[in-house]
């Protein structure tokens, strides 16, 4: 049977149109379907930044909380987000380097998730532009969860309770990892901690909230001629993020004058970024030892001493780093007291939800964190 050329052209055109239609269906933007809620920032912090394509809802936050504590995200169901970012340790893990699947160790210290919503980039080297994209990294890292994004989505699709939760949060249809990332990010945006003794002193007007030693430490901290710490760990008259969201080389990890980790340079390939790492916020720093991107400093006193010695010399060390050996003993003690006064209060609904096995590192946060002392009134309200 002879088929006309025009008929073949029509068939091909229909196939192309069908393909385009299916492609559009598959690439449809993922967006929460529930009513947006607002996340109230505590004293000392600005409004929580919210991306336009992922407004938080009660459903996505609850789903993200479950996913955060569930080791289902890892290849062998042993590692959850909370394994390395546990409320037991200020949403870090208290180790120099975290252990992932097969007890493999990473090469950088686990940063806290506290107030990560205020960072303009994620990871020590800033390679992820958002919390949503950051959630993809550990899953695919062979030293962490050692899984694939597609594999996680398939495991979740096979779980009827997860299917129901994803449908409530994002509507009917297959589960994608984009949904996973958006849910986890929405939950992480509720892990906000402020209203520390420092905040009550500086922003709340309570002059008794800080000890005299901590007050002295604060003055040294922000004095350009003394500590000059606030040049990177920013404080202004309304809010204190304690980070400039920039990258600096302090000489951490330098051995024999050579960098052991290239840091931001691995992302930008800009020579000026060699050995530079993101300025971490100092909020809750007393809870998150050890310190620096390589976890090499065990105590806050060691951190202060490191800065007093101007870090470690290398060709790319930040120009703001200079010796502080002129600081008195009282000023050095005061800096530690000030840093300890940055421990804030914690929302009550950020621990593991009932019925979730959190992986190799079981949660004991109610006991460790003394919640009667640090919980704050924290509510999600529908946005006007």
Positions annotated as catalytic residues are 144
Tokens of 303: 């951190």
Spell out the residues 6+ positions from residue 164 whose beta carbon is closer than 8 angstroms to its own.
none
DSSP secondary structure string for all residues of 284-299: TGGGS-SBSTT--B-S
Cα dist from 341 to 198, 213, 282, 338, whole Å? 6, 10, 10, 5
DSSP secondary structure string for all residues of 133-184: HHTTHHHH-TTTT---HHHHHHHHHT-HHHHHHHHHHH-SS---HHHHHHHH
On whether the CB atoms of residues 343 and 286 are closer than 8 A, the answer is: yes
Interhelix angle for 160-170 vs 149-157, to 10°?
100
165: closest CA among 271, 280, 289, 66?
66
Cα dist from 251 to 111, 293, 319, 330, whole Å? 18, 11, 11, 26
On whether the CB atoms of residues 69 and 86 are closer than 8 A, the answer is: no
How many residues are given for the chain? 384
On whether the CB atoms of residues 250 and 318 are closer than 8 A, the answer is: yes
Task: Give the Cα separation of 181 and 158 in Å (integer).
Answer: 18
Task: Give the Cα separation of 290 and 203 in Å (integer).
Answer: 29
């Amino acid at each position: 049977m002879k088929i006309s050329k025009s008929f073949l052209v029509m068939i091909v055109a229909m196939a192309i149109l069908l393909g385009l239609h299916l492609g559009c269906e598959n690439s449809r933007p993922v967006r929460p379907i529930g009513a947006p809620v607002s996340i109230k920032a505590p004293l000392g912090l600005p409004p929580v930044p919210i991306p336009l394509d992922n407004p938080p809802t009660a459903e996505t936050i609850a789903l993200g909380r479950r996913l955060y504590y569930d080791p289902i995200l890892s290849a062998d169901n042993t590692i959850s987000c909370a394994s390395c970012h546990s409320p037991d340790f200020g949403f870090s893990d208290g180790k120099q380097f975290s252990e992932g699947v097969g007890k493999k160790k990473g090469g950088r210290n686990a940063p806290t998730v506290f107030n990560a919503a205020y960072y303009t980039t994620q990871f020590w080297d800033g390679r992820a532009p958002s919390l949503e994209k950051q959630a993809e990294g550990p899953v695919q890292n062979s030293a962490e969860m050692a899984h694939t994004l597609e594999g996680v989505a398939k495991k979740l699709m096979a779980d009827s309770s997860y299917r129901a939760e994803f449908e409530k949060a994002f509507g009917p249809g297959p589960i994608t990892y984009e949904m996973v990332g958006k849910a986890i990010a929405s939950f992480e945006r509720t892990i906000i901690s402020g209203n520390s003794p420092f905040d009550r002193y500086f922003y709340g007007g309570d002059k008794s909230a800080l000890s005299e030693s901590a007050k002295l430490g604060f003055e040294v901290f922000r004095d350009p001629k003394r500590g000059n710490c606030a040049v990177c760990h920013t404080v202004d008259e309304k809010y204190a993020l304690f980070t400039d969201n920039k990258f600096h080389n302090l000489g951490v990890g330098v051995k024999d004058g050579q960098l052991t980790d290239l840091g931001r340079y691995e992302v930008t390939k800009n020579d000026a970024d060699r050995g530079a790492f993101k300025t971490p916020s100092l909020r809750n720093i007393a809870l998150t030892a050890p310190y620096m991107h390589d976890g090499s400093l065990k105590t806050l006193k060691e951190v202060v001493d490191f800065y007093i010695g101007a870090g470690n010399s290398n060709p790319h060390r930040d120009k703001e780093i200079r010796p502080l050996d002129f600081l008195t003993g009282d000023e050095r003690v005061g800096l530690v007291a000030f840093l300890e006064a940055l421990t804030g209060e914690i929302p009550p609904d950020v621990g593991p939800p009932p019925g979730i096995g959190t992986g190799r590192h079981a949660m004991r946060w109610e006991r460790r964190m003394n919640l009667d002392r640090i919980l704050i009134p924290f509510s999600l309200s529908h946005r006007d």
